[in-house]
Amino acid sequence: MRILLLVTIFLASLNAQAQGGSPVFIVPSWDELFPVRLPEIPEMPVDGKLAAAQGVKEIVMLDAAKQKKKKKRKKNTDTLAIWRLDRDGRVIAFNDRRDGFSTITISYVHRDKIGAWSKRSAGGLDSFNIRYNRSGVPDRVIRTHPEAAGAGQTLRSDTFNIHYASKLFPVIYKDAAQKETHAYLHDPGGRLLKRTLTRENEGLISVDSISYSKENGSLRAEHYYRSYVADPPAYQLIDKLLLDSLGNVLEYEYVFAQGNGNLRRNVQRGEIEKYTYANGLPVSGTLERGTRTIENRRYDRDRHGTVTTYHLQKTDWSVKGEMKPMIHYITERTYDKNGMPEKESYRVFKRYGTSSVEDPKAARYATFVLKK
């Protein structure tokens, strides 16, 4: 599952109110304007505080199909994932065996802020060490990662030193290795207005600019990108969103296009991704290509915000414009009376007109074991 609300340096450092009392607007993908993104905490099948209140220290996700065979377990072959928690319900280790194998370990400082994060997988080791200043915002991030994809590659260490004009807003960041300077401009309310990128001996490389306008009692924000190294220079809309009077995201739209300087998204040109939100979390989304919708998403959540059911429906269009069978992916999770996860199912359907046919080979059923 991919959710656009990412854990970023901005989310770690900005408060609900900025200088002058104006609300700070957190924008889902504009964290990618920042030169380094903080790592994410793995999503859990239950709210961490709720698990801590019941003394849960480990959540194990088991393959139900293998358990039904009643054969003697060999090296935990029926284990799909393991979450290990500290006494506050925070994830300190996560083993994921559903798609390949990866292990994440996390340590915390300053309450829920990540101090160290590392991930081992087939691609090698990727780790972060984060230092915070007295205001509780990151001022140095050290990332260690392979020079190229694949295990056994030479590790590279990058150090990101972040300087602040005030205790909240980063203004200048210099990357000595890449000989780049990132400069940020905010308005008095703390909203990001512009990011410029310059490179030694090359001058100005690109400018990201964000404009804000009122719209029927809400606020519309649009993000444009201009490249000064493209031939001819590129200027295009990247994404936009609608915010309510409190700064909560109501709608989000990402415009995929070539040459936008965003290397974290590998999607064909001309596609638009849209999300709607409730209580700051996405509840539905679409991926559109021209006039056609090729993906629909829906998130059902419990009162803690944990996803209980995730629907992903894909529609494949042929070159001639004829719609092929829709693929409907459904993930459902059930909970006991205490709010702890019991079972999870992942099912795939192919829809032909008004009828649907399930693909039994693609289905996956799991159960949860809680250890205290």
The pLDDT of residue 289: 76
The pLDDT of residue 265: 32
Alpha-carbon distance of 273 to 79, in angstroms, equals 34
The pLDDT of residue 74: 55
Residue 51 has pLDDT above 80, yes or no: yes
- 149-177 pLDDT tens trace: 554 567 888 777 777 766 556 666 666 66
Please give the full DSSP string across 34-82, using - where no structure is assigned.
SSS-PPPPPPPSS-HHHHHHTT--EEEEEEHHHHHTTPPP-TTTTEEEE
User: Is the entire prediction scored with pTM above 0.75?
Assistant: no
The pLDDT of residue 34: 62
Residue 335 has pLDDT above 60, yes or no: yes
Alpha-carbon distance of 88 to 17, in angstroms, equals 27
- Whose CA is closest to 170, among 143, 199, 140, 200? 140
Residue 19 has pLDDT above 70, yes or no: no
Residue 269 has pLDDT above 50, yes or no: no
The pLDDT of residue 4: 25
For 236-249, b where at least 16 C-beta lie within 10 A, e where not — what string? eebbbbbbeeebbb
Please give the full DSSP string across 191-248, using - where no structure is assigned.
-EEEEEEEETTTEEEEEEEEEEEEETTEEEEEEEEEESSSSSPEEEEEEEEEE-TTS-
The pLDDT of residue 152: 57
Residue 16 has pLDDT above 90, yes or no: no
Residue 32: how many other CB atoms lie within 10 Å: 20
The pLDDT of residue 21: 24
Strand pairing of 180-186 and 170-175?
antiparallel
Q: Which residue would you say has higher pLDDT here, 148 or 157? A: 157
What are the C-alpha distances in Å from 20 to residues 164, 246, 301? 18, 15, 35
Residue 33 has pLDDT above 50, yes or no: yes
Phi, psi (rounded to 5 degrees) for 20: 80, 0
List the structure tokens of 170.
């980063």
pLDDT-wise least confident of 133-147, 306-320, 348-362: 306-320
What are the C-alpha distances in Å from 307 to residues 134, 182, 302? 35, 36, 7
The pLDDT of residue 54: 94
The pLDDT of residue 260: 35
The pLDDT of residue 69: 58
Residue 316 has pLDDT above 90, yes or no: no
Q: Which DSSP helix (H) or strand (E) runs through 175?
A: strand 170-175
Provide long-range contacts, Cβ within 8 A and 24+ apart, for 80-84: 80/366, 82/58, 83/42, 83/44, 83/45, 83/58, 83/59, 84/57, 84/58
Show the CA angle centred on residue 117, arms to residues 114 and 120, nearest 5°.
Answer: 160
| Mean pLDDT taken over the chain | 75
Max distance between CA atoms of the chain, in angstroms, equals: 67
The pLDDT of residue 59: 96
Do 11 and 29 touch, CB atoms closer than 8 A?
A: no
Q: Which residue would you say has higher pLDDT here, 79 or 17? A: 79
What is the average pLDDT across 282-299?
A: 82
- 209-239 pLDDT tens trace: 988 888 888 888 888 888 888 777 777 777 7
